[in-house]
Structure 1
Amino acid sequence: MIYFTSDLHLGHRAVIYMQNRPFADENEMNRTIIANYNAVVHKNDTVYILGDIAHRIKAEETNELISKLNGKKYLLKGNHDKKYDPSLFEEIRDFMTIVYKGQSISLMHYPMLSWPKSHYGSIMLHGHMHNDESYNLENRKEGILRYDVGVDANGFYPVSVEQIIEFFGLKTQ
């Protein structure tokens, strides 16, 4: 299966208060986000992490946390991402487009107003904004195929490609 997530902000104490995350401290947040991630993502799954894995902790500590995450990981760099161990990822990029069962999907940390094939039914997945679920619901209502895969908008879990396609009511090949 293919999954997407963003804005884990592992180790970042202040994000708990800034985003009103329901955790006592960064250790509880780290444990919960990693446990939720691994509850749905298995060893052979593919995960696109759309940036901001961690913030305010050393790269070595972040690498240790990343190594606990299941799956074949691709990183789409966010504004808080540092130089992580590249061996932890299949690939590290700023922008990527994938196709799943004929459905084009653009991936980037930042939301885009227009993206490749946006006028032909392509989906744009992003993070960065720390929205709640109402953002995705509003985009769907307005007919905008843009979805925030960040943990704040998705109950602190990754989202599968199938969930996103179903959310927008799209048909695949």
Structure 2
Amino acid sequence: MNDFAPRPFLTVEDMNEEIIRNWNSRVKPTDTTYHLGDVALYFTHPASKSNEAVLQILLQLNGRIIFIKGNHDSRDFFKYLDKNNVEVNGKPKFEFHDVGVIVKYDHRQYYLTHYPMMLGIVNQIINLHGHIHHYAVPIKENLNVGVDSPELDYLTKKIPFGTPLSTSDIELMVERKFEDFKKRH
């Protein structure tokens, strides 16, 4: 464990096994999941050894994964994943985006990015992001959905570490953050 990102695991292997188990308990093989950056910090030389180790973990995760590049993700790593991509449901398991993706769901647009984006006054656009770990942007339209986000407290039930958020989790978090802002302002 370290002070920056404390995790309740004795070893990285224990953490990886927990993430794989929690991911696969929620994500079906036919699902698509968005990962908002910083896939893994695994520094082994040569880099191809770390890339291979991370690939082996990612291949154990159900469904397709759309990656948004984070500050700890290298282009070489994404090129490696793409070169070793497999097919899931007739599509590549991995897809890559440098900056972000817009997803429309239930009369809203979600801008999925790694870094929080200051979008100004916009109607029906929510920025889902990671990057800032144990912090939250004090803007109701920005929601930190990282694995260690304090905004996970908006959920009524704690989700196990490494479990991807569902669309209903996101909707609940957005509603509760909006309610929180109404009370404060």
TM-score normalised according to structure 1 size: 0.75
Q: Which residues of 2 match residues 24-63 of structure 1 at below 5 A?
A: 24-57=10-43, 58-63=50-55
Question: Quick one: which amino acid aligns to residue 51 of structure 2?
Answer: A
Alignment equivalent of 2:172, drawn from 149, 166, 170? 166
Match of 1:126 in 2: 129
RMSD over aligned CA atoms reads: 2.1
Q: Give the percent of matched residue pairs that are identical in Structure 1 and Structure 2.
A: 33
Gaps of 5+ in 2: 44-49, 87-92, 153-159, 177-185
**Distance in 1 of aligned mates of 2:25 and 2:70:** 24
Distance 1:60 1:113 in 2: 36
SS of 1:151 mapped into structure 2: coil
TM-score by length of 2: 0.71
Runs of 4+ displaced beyond 3 Å: none
Q: State the SS of the aligned residue for 1:48.
A: strand
3-state DSSP of counterpart to 1:130? coil
1:147 aligned partner: 143
Of residues 106, 120, 124 in structure 2, which corresponds to 1:101?
Answer: 106
Q: Does 1:79 align with 2:85?
A: no
Q: Which runs of 5+ in 1 are unaligned?
A: 1-15
The structural deviation recorded for 1:150 is: 1.2
Conserved 8 A contact 1:40-1:158: yes
2:47 maps to none
Provide the rounded CA distance (Å) in 2 between the counterparts of 1:52 and 1:167. 22
Q: Distance in 1 between matches of 2:94 and 2:7?
A: 30
Larger Rg belongs to: 2
Q: Larger relative contact order (C-alpha < 8 A, sep ≥ 6)?
A: 1
1:3 matched to which residue of 2? none
